[in-house]
Amino acid sequence: MTDRLPNLKINPEELPEKIIVCGDPSRAEQIASLLDGGRPLAKNREYHSYKGNWKGIEVAIVSHGVGSPGAAVCFEELIKGGAQVLIRVGTAGSYQKEIQPGHLVISTAAVRMDGLTRQLVPEGFPAIANRQIVEQLVQAASSKGQYVHEGITLTLDVFYSGVVEFPHELYKQSGVLAVEMENSALFTIGAIRGVKTGAILAIDGFADADLSNEYNPHTDVVAKAIEQEALVALDALVLE
């Protein structure tokens, strides 16, 4: 019997080469419900996985939880199991006033402000999405009449700030579009392991908002954006 992946608990023989990854296990289940013949593969900790067909192509949906270290475990094991393409469907906080809640962002690269990738690659190593996957995401969005922003995003470990003031204004002025918590891990691991990676994000607020009073990711406009980005990512996943 084939050994299951140690944390994901997936039998590699059941794992497709093309995979959507997302943070929230309930979102993974939601996306899997769109598939033809969707069914669970495994559930362990934050890692919930499903398998089915999208437009005649076998795909998987796997959740990776919050933050780069746990997500990296997911990405590494999927690659060990035979994954060749990983597209992240996530949420992010905007840094630019023209990028409003409910908008979609395709990340072309990530600023590596996480701690994980500093332990994987040298300082200065870029975290870049695969060009083909970026183009496929753009094509899939365009075919649906969906406008998306493209550009650099920021990956952080922190969500709620402590006593150290984070330089939001610096990243705004640098032209960073949005901030999230896993893209740099995905792009870096994809580069060093030789698999194609990409990410599309639904904007659920502004990065410098007061999280206690101003941040509300549970609005209808954000829910609609998450539905739209899932469809874009699925279409992009099966484009050749």
Task: Please state the pTM of the whole predicted model.
Answer: 0.96
- Per-residue pLDDT, 160: 87
Domains, the chain, in order of start with CATH, read 12-238 (3.40.50.1580)
Specify the higher pLDDT residue, 106 or 2: 106
Asked about 204 being catalytic, the answer comes back as yes
| pLDDT band with cut points at 50, 70 and 90 for residue 213 | low
For 81, which DSSP code?
T
Specify the higher pLDDT residue, 137 or 210: 137
Residues 36-41: what's their mean pLDDT? 97
- Per-residue pLDDT, 215: 81
CA-CA distance, 234 to 30, in Å (whole number)? 13
Q: Which residue has the tokens 């084939």?
A: 2
- Per-residue pLDDT, 77: 98
- 209: exposed, middle or buried (C-beta count within 10 Å: 0-12, 13-18, 19+)? middle
| pLDDT band with cut points at 50, 70 and 90 for residue 212 | low
Token pair recorded at residue 214: 């101003």
Q: Residue 1 above 60 pLDDT? A: no
The residues, any chain, with a CB within 8 Å of residue 45's CB and separated by 6 or more, are 7, 65
- Per-residue pLDDT, 199: 98
Catalytic residue among 3, 114, 157, 204: 204
- Print the SS3 string covering 28-90: HHHHHCCCEEEEEEEEECCEEEEEEEECCEEEEEEECCCCHHHHHHHHHHHHHCCCCEEEEEE
